[in-house]
């Protein structure tokens, strides 16, 4: 599957960097790959973990958030940096037209060339970074149905995609920053689907963990889903996991939940969360703003019909019956967030105090 001009339009204008037909084409078999057997566990003694990825569990399906959810709000920060560049470009354009007789021709042409190239390259790039997080769905969930053996996944440009669980070939995909053309490392669980002719028709990232555990975190989510779909008591094992489910079932992410996600993204230990408080403020602010500009996804009726849960199901976990955040769990991310903003304002004060 080769990307087309429309695919690049979807990336840089619409910001479809998540689960989409475009990224399905762009995902390549590169780096270090290792196939995952659905019948064999990858973790010898430990079971699966939620790892801030599971929305709901019951005897029919397990609902998991998209792998990019943990990074929401990060890219948009760089996108908004286009504002100062745009203001500078407007100022330069104003100066060129008002002082054309004072500017040498070579400098005039060079400045015009810079403006044109900046507009052609910079504007789509900044737009893509903003649209990656803003003005779309709050998250893109996936449902793994153990009854009909189907996977239902919200995509950014294909609606709800339906896949056969047994027809998905999962594998570990790892690459260092030097291996990747984008200059970024990769540790994630991917899957691809072939048609009857053996051609790859979908190639998606299913599980990823941004944090200290990286691939182990992704494999813990994979092991949770694998056991849920393959083992007779998989739904009971998932129900008993001692981690909170995400409060995203039919609603936006709450303020404290956003701060919790931003804090855990930056570091797993509290010491480093304090050290990286400035980054927590950056990630938390971007995440809160991004989530409140987006729409909550609603599953179509035909998916809900396939995923009907019995009223007396004893293995239901979702935001309605999950325990609320403890005081320490809510206040610690808030402390790191406010500390980060205090550091940012202090830096701005010493940088610009001479201008006020």
pLDDT tens column, 250-269: 899 999 999 999 998 888 88
What range defines the domain where residue 122 resides?
A: 78-131
Asked, for residue 266, whether it belongs to a domain, the answer is no
Give the mean pLDDT of 330-334.
95
- Same domain? 238 vs 166: yes
- 3 state SS of 38: coil
What the block records as the tokens of 262 is 């931003």
Domain count within the chain:
2
- Same domain? 316 vs 220: yes
* Mean pLDDT across the chain: 88
- 3 state SS of 137: strand
Separation between Cα atoms, residue 224 and residue 231, nearest integer Å? 10
How confident is the model over 29-58, as pLDDT tens digits?
Answer: 877 888 999 998 887 556 789 999 999 999
- Same domain? 46 vs 138: yes
Q: End-to-end CA distance of the chain, in Å?
A: 56
Residue that terminates a domain, selected from 131, 151, 170: 131
- Same domain? 42 vs 151: yes
Asked, for residue 260, whether it belongs to a domain, the answer is no
- Same domain? 119 vs 158: no
- Same domain? 25 vs 62: yes
- Same domain? 168 vs 96: no
Is pTM beyond 0.85 here? yes
Asked, for residue 341, whether it belongs to a domain, the answer is no
- Same domain? 56 vs 93: no
Asked, for residue 275, whether it belongs to a domain, the answer is no
Asked, for residue 310, whether it belongs to a domain, the answer is yes
- 3 state SS of 68: coil
pLDDT band per the 50, 70, 90 thresholds, residue 208: very high
How many Cα atoms are found within 13 Å in the side-chain-facing hemisphere of 194?
A: 6
Asked, for residue 57, whether it belongs to a domain, the answer is yes
Q: How far is CA 80 from CA 17, 28, 168, in A?
A: 17, 30, 38
- Same domain? 60 vs 209: yes
Interior angle at CA 103, CA 97 and CA 109, nearest 5: 75
Asked, for residue 117, whether it belongs to a domain, the answer is yes
Residue that terminates a domain, selected from 116, 131, 146: 131
pLDDT at 91: 79
Asked, for residue 344, whether it belongs to a domain, the answer is no
Give the mean pLDDT of 274-300.
93
Contact by Cβ (8 Å): 288, 281: no
- Same domain? 123 vs 137: no
pLDDT at 83: 75
- 3 state SS of 162: strand
- Same domain? 224 vs 101: no
- Same domain? 68 vs 103: no
Q: How far is CA 97 from CA 92, 103, 111, 117, in A?
A: 9, 10, 11, 18
């Amino acid at each position: 599957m080769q990307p087309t001009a429309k695919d690049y339009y979807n990336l840089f204008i619409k910001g479809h960097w998540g689960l989409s037909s475009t990224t399905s084409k762009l995902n390549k078999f590169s780096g270090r790959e290792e196939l995952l057997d659905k019948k064999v566990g990858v973790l010898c003694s430990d079971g699966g973990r939620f790892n801030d990825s599971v929305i709901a569990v019951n005897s029919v399906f397990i609902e998991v958030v998209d792998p990019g959810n943990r990074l929401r709000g990060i890219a948009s920060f760089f996108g908004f940096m286009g504002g100062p560049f745009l203001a500078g470009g407007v100022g330069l354009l104003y100066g060129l037209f008002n002082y054309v007789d004072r500017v040498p021709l070579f400098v005039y042409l060079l400045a015009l060339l810079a403006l044109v190239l900046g507009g052609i390259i910079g504007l789509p790039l900044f737009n893509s970074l903003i649209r990656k997080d803003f003005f779309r769905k709050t998250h893109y969930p996936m449902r793994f149905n153990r009854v009909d053996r189907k996977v239902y996944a919200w995509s950014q440009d294909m609606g709800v995609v339906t896949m056969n669980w047994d027809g998905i070939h999962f594998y570990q995909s790892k690459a260092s920053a030097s291996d990747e053309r984008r200059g970024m490392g990769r540790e994630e669980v991917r899957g691809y689907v072939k048609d009857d002719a053996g051609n790859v028709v979908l190639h998606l990232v299913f599980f990823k963990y941004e944090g200290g555990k990286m691939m182990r975190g992704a494999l813990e989510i994979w092991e949770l889903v694998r056991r849920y779909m393959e083992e007779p008591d998989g739904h009971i094992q998932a129900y008993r996991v001692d981690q909170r489910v995400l409060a995203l079932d039919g609603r936006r992410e709450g303020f404290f939940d956003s701060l919790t996600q931003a804090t855990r993204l930056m570091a797993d230990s509290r010491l480093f969360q304090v050290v990286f408080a400035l980054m927590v403020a950056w990630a938390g602010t971007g995440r809160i703003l991004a989530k409140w500009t987006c729409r909550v996804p609603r599953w179509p009726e035909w998916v809900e019909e396939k995923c009907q849960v019995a009223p007396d199901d004893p293995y239901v976990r979702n935001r309605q019956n999950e325990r609320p955040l403890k005081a320490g769990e809510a206040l610690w991310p808030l402390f790191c967030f406010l500390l980060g903003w205090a550091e940012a304002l202090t830096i701005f004060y010493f940088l610009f105090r001479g201008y006020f």
